[in-house]
Amino acid sequence: MTIAHEEAVIDAAAVDAIFAEARTANAFTGEVTDGQARAIYELTKFGPTAFNSQPLRVTYVRSEEARAILVDAMSPGNSAKTASAPLVAILSTDTAWHEQWDTFLPGFNRPKAMYDAAPELAAATGNDNAHLQAGYFILAVRSLGLAAGPMTGADFGKIDSAFFPDGSRKSFLVVNIGQPAEDAWGAPKPKFAYEDVVRTV
């Protein structure tokens, strides 16, 4: 039992499933139902973002045709993983996220003008917050008893051309999802200690 387990308000099994015992899977088995795929997003959406902006967009890849296109865009070390995973998600940023201001922050649209006047700021804010939501997405996968295999080893320009040719989204992460297979894990990887990364000022 660690101090994290002792301080958590969720039970030890949940702490282990989401954090302490969870690891990135490289091989998968089983299936991911449509209900589970929906539940992943329904949990993800509750994580905080700037101005409640929620710029993350999720594209689940299920068809053989779409899967083949995606596999072709993956780096050699990731293509087999993506080909065999029960479900694959492309995570992307809505490039026009701030145009939906009245939907995600009704009654307080004054800050929108700042982003309208500064496209680079709008892009950076969308990118930062979509990446933040990607973390919630992975934790949501784990909370359902599934394993996640997030990967940045891909040609995202190629993915965008194939899946988002109108420029409405900019992809940044591919996540394989499923039950971990027997050979899902590599050797355990060390994590930095509290003393290595945390300071109090």
Q: Where are the domains of the chain?
A: 24-183
pLDDT of residue 182: 86
Q: Average of pLDDT values for 42-54?
A: 98
CB 95 within 8 A of CB 169: yes
Nearest to 163 by CA among 113, 88, 98: 88
Each residue of 115-173: pLDDT tens digit?
999 999 999 999 999 999 999 999 999 999 999 999 999 999 999 999 999 999 999 99
User: Residues 137, 172: contact at Cβ < 8 Å?
Assistant: no
Confidence of residue 186 (pLDDT cuts 50, 70, 90): confident
CATH domain 24-183 topology: NADH Oxidase (3.40.109)
CA 109 to CA 94: how far, in whole Å? Answer: 18
d(CA 109, CA 51): 10
Q: What is the DSSP letter of 46?
A: T
